[in-house]
Amino acid sequence: MADLSIEFCGIRSPNPFWLASAPPTNTGDQVMRAFDAGWGGAVWKTLGNPIVNVTSRFGGIDYGNTRLMGLNNIELITDRPLEVNLREMREVKKRYPRHTLIASLMVETREEWREIIQRSEDAGADMLELNFGCPHGMCERGMGSAVGAEPKVLEEIARWAMELAHVPVIVKLTPNVGDILEPGEAALRAGVPALSLINTVKSLMGVDLDRMVPLPRVGDASTNGGYCGPAVKPIALHLLAQLARHPQVGKLAISGIGGISNWRDAAEFIALGASSVQVCAAVMHHGYRIVEDMLEGLSDFLDERGMKSVSELRGRAIPAYREWGELDLSYRVVADIDPDKCIGCQLCYVACMDGAHQCIHLPGRTEEESRRAGHTHIPKHVPERVVTAREGTPGARVPFVDEEECVGCNLCQLVCPVPGCITMEEVPTGKPRESWNDRVAQGRDQVPGGLEATAASRGRSR
């Protein structure tokens, strides 16, 4: 079996699955129950000066039958006394010495940073995570994402922590910036050995149209909060990969956060450069025991791929993440609809007609009927195949693809409700690999059909 233990900044952890700093790590009892369930580490709910929370605090977005596709919160850092938190941290570390315990911190002045770092280390914290990401409440006080969005301020405070700390320091980044490399490089200049990202995305969850108050409602008003859950995973993966492929920043240890709900999500984060992953919303939704499937799934995946450890997976997908201008313009795929699996719902046909490139047709139509439906290109050949669906709606026609017109956009496959019914088949073009950057370098980047003035100006400049 693959070894799921990891080393993060020299600290050993039983596995890469950590709880993120959030309500699931609010108390010692919670963290100990999580460790019993199988979690390898936990980032304690952010410590700082006392705050007062409001109710209600959470808002959710459902999609179809999926509950909490996205979760919004306006809860702040811990509202429990600092000494209570520290006492419980000591007890957790005493009972679970092999598990990774990380203190999340957020204060203002250098002296406050000095005190809270020392007290957290004395309580047994293996590492410190500087919360420069919280996008609500605390940022209005000059902390959280107010720091994460200002590279110079981030660098200064991170330097304080590096001077004061005796354990590894992690800088937690906010996604609410124009370029994630700027705060990442600032953390690098400060000398920190690790990053974590993403913190939550600044958001408004919705509006109570009866009361005309944004959600979650606090009396007669609300405010923006932090968005998390499965819906933010694509954002998190992008920002993680941006940092991981950076020549210098990518050498730091990175803890990936954002919409991780199962082992496959975790494997994707690790393949894009994360050494560990942190989970919050999925635990709030389903509880600590989800880690059991995560551990089993990741272990099986590594075994199937012949990998002996998590470290062998880390960064495997980074070389394939490139800028648009480096992609192969000669590569081509076309859609193929399996008539034996098709249920005749025709969602692919509607999506292609109204949202893509009008290359999916319905059999049995005359050319005139096809043109009235919106087709401007009529296929020369209609494939000999099943006309009506064998499953699903009786008598419904099975669409077919005009391969000459198909641009391989994938939309039909994405909307199809039947697994494996629509596949994207690679079509050899016989052309050598060529990217847009290649065309630019060769002076062939002017595509016919554009502005004549642009073409003329480029001709003169050359």
The residues that are catalytic are: 134
| Tokens at 149, concatenated | 């969005």
> In Å, what is the CA distance from 427 to each residue of 53, 129, 333, 407, 423?
58, 49, 5, 11, 12
Residue count of the chain: 462
What are the beta bridge partners of residue 208? 213
Q: How many Å apart are CA 91 and CA 260, to the nearest integer?
A: 28
| Tokens at 337, concatenated | 């609809």
| Tokens at 358, concatenated | 């009008």
